């Protein structure tokens, strides 16, 4: 699953409750990203920059706030180029064994406590 390869976690139960309100980005029939508008702050994950930015455009047409990891340089550049400014920062914390996380592929988080 795309989310697990990016987040490092199995969040399928949580995500499945929001797919009916979601949007996908695919190329040649291959899923490259999705936006779950009804999940928290509007989760966007994508395994290509193009997919992530296109989904961000959709989300930003409805919201004036975005939250993404500092490692997502392309997403931050998109926001800055479109009049957004940084207002707050936070640290990501984990408890227990570290797992694979690809922050550059998160184009908007769920909540502060869910990534």
> Does 90 reside within a domain?
yes
Indicate if the pLDDT at residue 99 is higher than 80.
Answer: no
Number of domains in the chain: 1
Residue 51 contacts residue 33 (beta carbons within 8 Å): yes
Residue 19 lies inside a defined structural domain of this protein: yes
- The per-residue pLDDT for range 51-66, each reduced to its tens digit, is 999 999 999 998 999 9
Cα separations (Å) of 12 from 18, 19, 53, 75, 76?
10, 10, 23, 24, 27
Counting Cβ atoms within 10 Å, is residue 105 exposed (0-12), middle (13-18) or buried (19+)? Answer: buried
Residue 113 lies inside a defined structural domain of this protein: no
pTM over 0.85: yes
- 14: tokens are 């949580």
- CATH number, domain at 102? 3.40.630
Provide the domain limits for residue 85: 2-108
- Residue 115 in domain: no
Nearest by Cα to 68 from 51, 56, 82: 56
């Amino acid at each position: 699953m795309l989310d697990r390869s990016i987040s490092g976690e199995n969040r399928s139960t949580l995500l499945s409750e929001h797919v009916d309100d979601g949007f996908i980005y695919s190329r040649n029939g291959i899923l490259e990203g999705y936006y779950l508008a009804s999940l928290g702050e509007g989760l966007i994950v994508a395994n290509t920059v193009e997919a992530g930015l296109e989904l961000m455009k959709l989300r930003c047409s409805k919201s004036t706030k975005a939250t993404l990891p500092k490692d997502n340089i392309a997403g931050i550049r998109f926001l800055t180029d479109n009049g957004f400014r940084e207002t707050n920062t936070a640290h990501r914390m984990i408890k227990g064994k570290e797992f694979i996380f690809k922050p550059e592929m998160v184009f908007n988080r769920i909540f502060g406590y869910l990534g």
